[in-house]
Chains A and B, each alone.
Chain A
Amino acid sequence: MCFRYLYFILFCLFSFSIISTVYAQLPALSAEQQQPNPAKPVINIGVLAFRGDDYAAARWQATVDYLNSRIHEMHFKLHTLSLPQMKQAVADKTLSFILTNPGNYIELEVEYGVSRILTLQPERGAGPKSTIGSVIVVRQDRQDIQSMADITGKSLMIVSKQAFGGFQVAWLEFKKRGIDPFTDFSALKFSGFPMDNVAYAVRDGDVDVGILRACVLENMIFEGKIKAGELRVLDPQPFDDFACQSSTRLYPNWPLAKLRDTPNMLAKRVAQVLLELPEDSLVTWAGNHAGWTIPMDYQPVHDLFRELQIGPYEWLAKTSLRQLWERYWHWIMFFVMALVYGAWHMARVEHLVNVRTQQLSETNVQLKQEIKERLNAEHETRMRQTELAHVSRISAVGELASGMAHELNQPLSAINSYAQGTTMRLQADEISTAELIDISQHIIAQAERAGTIIQRFRSFLRKEEVACTDVDLNKAITEALELFASEVRKRNIDIELQLANRLPPVCAEIIQVEQVVLNLLRNAAEAMQAIDNKTRKILIRSEQQDNVIRVSISDNGPGMTDDVAKHLFDPFFTTKPDGMGLGLSISHSIMEAQRGQLELIEHGGQGVTFTLTWPVYRGEDLNEQ
């Protein structure tokens, strides 16, 4: 449940942050869009001074002058800037155009939306396309350094980490060879602009290895600052259309780019004018290039930066939320939506789980209820069964009532006769003490006999739970037979007893055992109704076999069909016209309750045999009960 609310809160926070970002963004963007470009007569052009302000001013002033000579309605002004200055100026929008190296351009393009309008033609008749590379230089006499593979562990000097041709291009080559310039050199030194310092330091032996922009070495030799042959270029690459040596692949030359707010018309004018600049003119000569051409593809520069994870790709991580939003709003939106969807999905799953859990627990409660009901029903069934057993016993007793009366009549009559005879003899004074004692003994015996009969019937009637007492099965059989005696006489049945001599007791209740035996005897007697008076016979046998004590009761009646035998123990199944069909069913239950078994083992034409079996129990079994 808590998770659901948490997800909801998260969802709200996300929504709020997105909306607030968008709203904060919109006025800012529109303000920028609506801000009129101040129609100033001064058009500022920023130039990267990678070899110092003087060099840059000397190189590019002619180009600016050329622009001023061609475009009269405004004044172009040159600003020589270091890399940080360039970035600051672009950020402050104090410039209209910038002229910088490709690396710096890509950074500014990504960060501030500057766009190239022209690319500088390579200088000195170099090829028309890629013109920026790096040279890795060592002193000519350093025989231990023959290729880039030899430079690890040496000291390295570069102009600056931000230098494109002066470092980053070479860095990529290092990386391709598995060399990390920041860790794999014994020292990494920075000379700062001008780049010439690097060449001097190598030449003077201050460092082992230096990195220069391609063509810088050639220019320095041309200018006489370095002697040809003093420095050696490692891994010079073969280029057909490039005049300078390079240790790396080549990248497009410097672009001229307009800032985002610079009007397109102005950019178009400037581009037109510069494209018209002849290849070979004072201006181009002063700028040490071959004029301008249409903007080149700077994708290789992008690739390099991405590969090195620097420039715009490093800056990306440090950028403000707003800049991030500007650049990647669709990705962020997608991500946020994915996140929101995820959160919603999880919340939904959580909700569904809760719903299912709820349903399951309801089902569980229902199941528990059903189990309870079933247990109640079972309990009730057991109660009914007990009641039925009771009823069955009562009806059995009803059937035996006349028999009981007869049984009781015998001792009562005997007692009466004894007493009466004795009275008469006493009155006539014709009785000896010995006779009197003898007759008294007889009277006592008959009274006890009557008492036993009553006791037996009373306990037979009593409704009792199954108890586990030591039951002598032979005794139970004998007592059941006594109850059945009148029936035996009436029906003229021959009872044959084959009782085992030493029978261990079973765990049961004697009255119930007697009831079962009596039930089977009655069934046997009724089954034999159909056969001749003289041959009616019931065999009762008790025996122990391994761990089982068995009582079998066989008659020699006509037997029963298989179909009857199959349903014999079913409740309410009966073949007697006035039977309830409960006797055997209840007997079966009684035996089960006593951990015994009632089975029909013979039912053919020779008569029916039932067996009652009980496990031989030991003392510990009794305690388990």
Chain B
Amino acid sequence: MNSEVKVFIVDDDESIRHSLRWLLESAKLTVEDYPSADEFLLHVDTDHVGCLILDVRMPGMSGLELQQALLDRTSTLPIIILTGHGDVPMAVRAMSQGSFDFVQKPFNGPQLLERVQSAIEHSRHLLQEKSSRTEIQERYNLLTPREQQVMSHIVTGNANKVIAFDMDIGLRTVEVHRHRVMEKMQARSVADLIYYHLQIKPN
């Protein structure tokens, strides 16, 4: 995880890259720009707080292809698609694939900055979400297999007696396991535990 805020620009048009850099830097943002999608993928760690401003029409790997590649890497970086007038259907497709926003050229500065800011916020949120999810998973991984079994029984709403019966163990044993699960998962209530359970991938 990298908490440094960065705005990435991928556009084949040098003037666009240069002018956007000027604009974004005027807003005190750190900017990195790349003339092609390939360059970007080669050099950038995508787990950044920030966003990607991406031109859909480019030689080589297109904007949509880059978006797909980022999705495959579970990148949380929000993407702002820059489109020309004729590219609206393409932008719609990009949005349906999970792009954060699209801006139609010619854009105006304040509007773009606003989108960039909200994208950064979104990125921050996504990244936090992603990190909390990782934490819960780590806690979960600390549970013994028996405790994980008990946890899945708890989140389905079974009473201790039902669990003891189902697992063919003593009621007391269930109570001990239950306490350990709640403790290890740092859950204060069953509702918490259910919430955490939804965030994890069962082994």
Contact = CB atoms under 8 A, between A and B. Distances in A.
Interface of A: 401-402, 405-406, 408-425, 428, 430, 439, 442, 445-446, 449, 486, 489-490, 492
B55 to A, nearest CB: 9
Contacts of A414: 13, 15-16, 18-19
A489 B27 CA distance: 32
Nearest to A407: B84
A412 B22 contact: no
B57 A406 contact: yes
A415 B18 CA distance: 11
Name B's interface SS.
Answer: helix
A410 B105 contact: yes
A413 B111 CA distance: 12
A410 B20 contact: no
A258 B25 CA distance: 158
> Interface centre among A408, A420, A423, A490, by most B CB within 10 Å?
A420
B86 A406 contact: yes
A321 B19 CA distance: 126
Contact of A405 (B16, B22, B86): B86
Interface string B17-51: 01110111111000000000000000000000000
B15 A405 contact: no
Interface in B139-191: none
A417 B19 contact: yes
B19 A413 contact: yes
Interface of B: 12-13, 15-16, 18-20, 22-27, 57-60, 82, 84-87, 105-110, 112-113
Given A406-B86, A416-B107, A419-B109, A489 B23 contact: no
A490 B25 CA distance: 31
Given A412-B106, A413-B105, A421 B86 contact: no
Given A442-B19, A446-B15, A409 B105 contact: yes
B26 A424 contact: yes
A425 B113 CA distance: 14
Contacts of B22: 417-418, 421-422, 439, 442
A424 B15 CA distance: 19
> Interface centre among B58, B86, B110, by most A CB within 10 Å?
B86
> Interface centre among B60, B85, B110, by most A CB within 10 Å?
B85
B104 to A, nearest CB: 8
A420 B106 contact: no
A178 to B, nearest CB: 121
Contacts of A439: 22
15 contacts: A406-B105, A410-B15, A411-B15, A413-B16, A413-B19, A414-B19, A417-B107, A417-B112, A418-B19, A421-B19, A421-B22, A424-B109, A442-B19, A489-B58, A489-B59
B106 A416 contact: yes
Contact of B105 (A401, A412, A423): A412
